[in-house]
Amino acid sequence: MLDKNGIATRIAQEVEDGQYVNLGIGIPTLVANHIPEGLNVEFQSENGILGMGPFPFEGSEDADLINAGKQTITALPGAVYFDSATSFAMIRGRHVQLTVLGAMEVSETGDIANWKIPGKMVKGMGGAMDLVASADNIVVAMMHTNRAGESKLLPQCSLPLTGVACVKRVVTNLAVLDIKDGAFHLVERAPGVSVEDIRAATAGELIVPDSVPEMQL
């Protein structure tokens, strides 16, 4: 079973050389720390930077330089700042090639819900609806079950949707799963996790191939 950094490490393997990548808040943000040396990748943050670097050294924080999670950041050589309309032109126009974001629920048809719990939590969708409606390549990073132990991989989402039929791959603390033909297809198991563990934690239809390799981290 993976912790959050483990999930981020596995997702970093999805990133290809030469890609522009948008990382959501939470686990996805950690992915940046696990990109292999030598891979040329640029991180976009939808509030208006491409070429985002690591957190600043203490004392060099700049209130005018933050990421979409409102964290202070730095800019790498070759970075560029832009306005929100241009930022979402990059996203909607499919110039950003990979989006990694968190979710409360994902359905077996690729629907995602991550912005609202009616009557309880209403934070807003931020840029998530634009991101999931646009990117060719959408990977969800999340725990396989919620705090109550209920599966977050469902036949249908119960919460208000963020996007429809858009998620291609889910990486959880238990497994890597692809979504196609209306089902979750088990691709890899987390170290020490059995197919039965995954089956028990997955409410949506799960297709298990004859052999399911363990993740190589």
Stretch 174-213: interaction string toward another protein, x if CB under 8 A? ----------------------------------------
Annotated catalytic residue 105: no
Q: Which of 46, 105, 108, 188 is catalytic?
A: 46
Report d(CA 11, CA 144) in Å as an integer.
15
State which of positions 130-159 bind another protein (CB under 8 A). 130, 133-134
Q: Beta strand pairing status for 105-107 and 98-101?
A: unpaired
State which of positions 52-111 bind another protein (CB under 8 A). 53-59, 61-73, 75-96, 111
Tokens of 166: 């858009």
Q: Looking at 99-107, 117-125, 170-178, 187-195, which segment touches another protein (CB under 8 A)?
A: 117-125
Return the closest-CA partner of residue 46 out of 103, 123, 104, 125: 125
Q: Which residue has the tokens 């993976």?
A: 2
Largest CA distance in the chain: 54
State which of positions 3-42 bind another protein (CB under 8 A). 18-20, 40-42
Tell me the catalytic residues. 46
